[in-house]
Amino acid sequence: MLYRLKQLTLLAGDAVALLIGFFLALTERYWWRSSSGDMALLYPMLILFSGAVLIMFITGLYDIGHSRNTWKFYQKIIVSAGSWIIFGMVAFYLRPDAISVSPKTILILTALNSFGFLAIWRFLYNRFLSTEMLQLPVVFVGAAPEMAELATLLAAEPERGYRLLGTVTMEQLPAPLSSLPRAATLQQLLAQTNSQPAIIVTAPRLSRNLELSKELYHQLFSQTTIITLEKFYEEIFGRIPPFIFSESWFLNNLNEQQKKIYDRWRIVTDYTCAVLMGIFFGVTFPFIAMAIKWRSPGPIFYKQERVGRMGKIFWIYKYRTMKALTVDGGAELAGARYAATDDDRITRVGKFLRKTRLDEVPQFINILKNEMAIIGPRPERPEFVAELAKQMPFYSLRHLIKPGLTGWAQIKQSYYATLEENLRKLEYDLYYLKNRGFWIDVAIVLRTINIVIGMRGR
């Protein structure tokens, strides 16, 4: 909830900065003289400002966990400003008859003013509002390894807006929890810290402690939010914590019947996107094919068995990005193995295709065949699925929906090669399975665009 509040605060401040920049641009352009023609630009400029917000979301300016005063952060503002100027020029000059005056000067002045004010606003927000004023004090009740994981992240990213007051437990705690105030009861901790928490996070298996339950009950009258560790963990990390994995939890939380209408609506968007991908494939195929053949002998395409919805096996299609070491164009001589960062089997052209994710374009065929969707858990190879399912009893749950071209786990981390990393991937996939809907799909698409533009694919 705090995350969304902070995003809305940023959005409101950005909107004010953009509008002030536009009106200042009109003043700079005409000084004391008013111009009804340029005021006619207000409506199209508001549309362009909507595009500016979209661009800023793609570049990561609404990622609360990385909103801090660093050069890398302000580079994003510069990139957003440049992208918006190009976007504005294309939007205006595609139909120059739609307006009565040339907006070129106004557009440039607005970009300089608006994004200049926006940079100042973001500096003030990062310096004061985010880390000092928009802060919620948090108390942990009980002990669990996930609490130390949360404490580490919140200490490293104070811009998220949570400040740990202490813990209610007498157990020995790992760092960084060990450095926080600790007490046997909630009242003792509050007296020790002389602070009132806004959020109390409770560890599992505390319901039998009647005295503690009474203390927590009285905190409700102080308008304190009482939240379980699993819900707080899910909100902060965007994944399901493994300590709650059980048949009963999945029965209560994976409401697949309620998702059926949305999943059917998604089929229309999947097919539409697949057709557009097919058009893009037709235009770019000659150039990509020549580049692949020029740098590495072997086939242009590569197909591989993957596990789809309900465990059904299908062939996934990709541009070949690795050296053709086998007759069928494969790159494995000793059985299935995970691709690794800086894998020496990847060709130079393949590296570019992976970074831009152009190697995935042929999968529009899989989407048209209803084997894949645009968004969903990435499909794994049968060999890996069999191995992972032995180690993770609930791994097959990710096959309840169609695998996707991109997904929640992919925008959080590119590669999952070890057992521990694949457990983390399962946590993300189950989070998407539980929470999938319009807004999370929009966020995934926009962040995927960010990865593609930034060439951060692997």
Comparing 98 with 223, the larger pLDDT belongs to 223
SS3 assignment, position 226: strand
Comparing 282 with 262, the larger pLDDT belongs to 282
Give 289-335 pLDDT, tens digit per residue: 999 988 788 889 989 999 999 999 999 999 998 877 666 655 555 55
pLDDT of the residue at 358: 93
Give 366-419 pLDDT, tens digit per residue: 999 999 999 999 999 998 898 888 888 899 999 999 999 999 999 987 677 777
Rounded mean pLDDT of 12-20? 95
pLDDT of the residue at 284: 95
Q: Among 10-14, 327-331, 436-440, which stretch is predicted with the lowest mean pLDDT?
A: 327-331
269: pLDDT strictly greater than 80: yes
pLDDT of the residue at 113: 95
431: pLDDT strictly greater than 90: yes
What are φ and ψ of residue 173, in 5° steps?
-115, 145
Mean pLDDT, all residues of the chain: 86
Give 157-170 pLDDT, tens digit per residue: 888 889 999 999 88
- Percentage of residues in the chain having pLDDT higher than 70: 90
Q: Answer for the pair 219, 193: CB distance below 8 angstroms, yes or no.
A: no
pLDDT tier, 95 (very low <50, low <70, confident <90, very high otherwise): low
pLDDT of the residue at 4: 85
Best CATH choice for the domain 136-237 from the list 1.20.1560.10, 2.60.40.10, 3.40.50.720, 3.30.110.60: 3.40.50.720
Separation of alpha carbons 198 and 162, rounded Å: 10
- Percentage of residues in the chain having pLDDT higher than 90: 48
Apex 33 CA angle, 87 and 98, nearest 5: 35
Q: Which amino acid is at 422?
A: N
For the residues of 315-369, what is the DSSP string, one character each?
Answer: EEEEE--B---STTS---SSS-----TT-TTB-HHHHHHHHHTGGGGGGHHHHHT
Give 28-86 pLDDT, tens digit per residue: 876 645 555 556 778 888 989 999 999 999 999 999 888 889 999 999 999 999 999 99
Map tokens 């494969």 to a residue: 330
pTM: 0.86
The segment with the largest mean pLDDT, out of 89-93, 96-100, 283-287, is 283-287
Separation of alpha carbons 228 and 140, rounded Å: 10
pLDDT of the residue at 429: 94
- Domain layout of the chain by residue ranges: 2-133, 136-237, 256-453
pLDDT of the residue at 100: 45
Q: Among 357-361, 442-446, 450-454, which stretch is predicted with the lowest mean pLDDT?
A: 450-454
The segment with the largest mean pLDDT, out of 99-103, 278-282, 389-393, 422-426, is 278-282
pLDDT of the residue at 326: 66
Separation of alpha carbons 185 and 168, rounded Å: 6
pLDDT of the residue at 393: 84
Give 203-259 pLDDT, tens digit per residue: 887 766 778 888 888 888 888 999 999 999 999 999 999 889 888 888 888 877 778
Separation of alpha carbons 231 and 235, rounded Å: 6
